[in-house]
Structure 1
């Protein structure tokens, strides 16, 4: 499958002993038997960017987890419960399992405290936004007046000034029906689809905390590669 689950034993930071040791990146999931769709794509993308990816899951235990990894990737998933951003359910959703979301919120707290790099993809970007106090469109089509269907496969995004990705207009892989509504504290939206939907965010005054609403692991483009290079590069400078 290109990667493996890891119960997180104590790990000496080998990168202090060898400059060129690839950074170790934890990819979150629900449990050992519930990996994200197409898990090998995340593993390959991280490897191609110069890192090593391992799955981490709630049953791995929390003690020492944030210190074990050089950075984290929160991949795609189902929907976030509106209760997590103090709203009532207003439309049909498929909530992600509570254990996974709680685990990822815990890891975000630990990563912020340690200034560890984090990349969020699709659902992962939404988790990031809610963690910082933001809210979501529970369903873009029914709640966003000008929205089109973001589950159609591909659409364009305009990337504006930011510290991590090159500005420009790009075609991206899209497969979501929720999106950022109110931006979380400290987060800066920097990419937008033609209907105005926020497609990417980053945390200001932080080494690397970025969320993208599209799926860069699914396409072999320069933009997709640059997303993972940004994560691995941020881990390398620690």
Structure 2
């Protein structure tokens, strides 16, 4: 049986020579390969028709972490901590999610990726958790803390896809974000929360595999529960072929 091809979205950075370069943490690639998938890197800037053609050639999609989504795209409250806005990436990834959701195409979103899923389907974000949820626990353990540091435990809804994948309802996770999911669209179901009630994972209803998590399981892939998230994506991609 052919190896499932998993497209992984890449970020963009401005090089010292003032040229934009697509970049991707090797942790995502390693986690997908460990799960049995064949990773390929997806650049930003593709048009809608090209995205449709792309999905015909892939078996699954992984939306990665990165800078913040432009708050104007979800009527968000401006905040000075908003950083790394990349309009071509926003436009590409939002359309990618919409088409994948419509086509019953398997996809997984991580950190920024789960936020893209939420916004693409009509939801909104806290543009800064500390400012808008002052009683919340700390979630922005970056950039000076090791990315594989366990920050807190998330409570996973029993019977959810995420609970089945991880074989638990209590999972230790890292936390590398200053934004979070606020309004959840009707098509998404909350399946995990932090102790302060912040949404940590959502699933797309009536879809073979539409999942988003707020933490970074690729940095915790030695943990069976976290690696199982990637295995779930690859297995769904295999069944989609």
Contact 1:201/1:210 (<8 A) preserved: yes
TM-score, normalised with respect to structure 1: 0.86
Superposition deviation, residue 85 in structure 1: 0.7
TM-score, normalised with respect to structure 2: 0.85
Structure 2 stretches lacking a partner, 5+ long: 13-19, 142-148
Superposition deviation, residue 136 in structure 1: 0.6
Contact 1:131/1:184 (<8 A) preserved: no
Q: In structure 1, what is the Cα distance between the partners aligned to 2:234 and 2:161?
A: 15
Any idea what SS the aligned residue of 1:184 has? coil
Structure 1 position 22 matched with structure 2 position 3: yes
Q: In structure 1, what is the Cα distance between the partners aligned to 2:109 and 2:152?
A: 19
Corresponding residue number in structure 1 for 2:239:
237
Any idea what SS the aligned residue of 1:174 has? coil
Q: In structure 2, what is the Cα distance between the partners aligned to 1:94 and 1:156?
A: 27
Q: In structure 2, what is the Cα distance between the partners aligned to 1:191 and 1:163?
A: 11
Contact 1:160/1:167 (<8 A) preserved: no
Q: In structure 2, what is the Cα distance between the partners aligned to 1:60 and 1:80?
A: 17
Contact 2:32/2:38 (<8 A) preserved: yes
Corresponding residue number in structure 2 for 1:226:
228
Q: In structure 2, what is the Cα distance between the partners aligned to 1:102 and 1:30?
A: 13
Alignment of structure 1 residues 192-211 onto 2, 5 Å:
192-211=193-212
CA offsets per residue over residues 14-42 of structure 1, 9 Å max, x none? Answer: xxxxxx21100100124572314xx2110
* RCO higher in structure (CA 8 A, sep ≥6): 2
Which of 142, 166, 187 is equivalent to 2:131? 142
Structure 1 stretches lacking a partner, 5+ long: 1-19
Alignment of structure 1 residues 49-198 onto 2, 5 Å:
49-59=35-45, 62-63=49-50, 64-152=53-141, 153=149, 154-161=151-158, 162-165=160-163, 166-198=167-199
Superposition deviation, residue 101 in structure 1: 1.0
Contact 1:26/1:69 (<8 A) preserved: yes
- Number of aligned residues: 217
CA offsets per residue over residues 182-235 of structure 1, 9 Å max, x none? Answer: 112210111111111100000011111000000000011011111101101111
Q: In structure 1, what is the Cα distance between the partners aligned to 2:123 and 2:61?
A: 20
CA offsets per residue over residues 48-67 of structure 1, 9 Å max, x none? Answer: 11101111112566521111
Q: In structure 2, what is the Cα distance between the partners aligned to 1:188 and 1:178?
A: 19
Superposition deviation, residue 126 in structure 1: 0.2
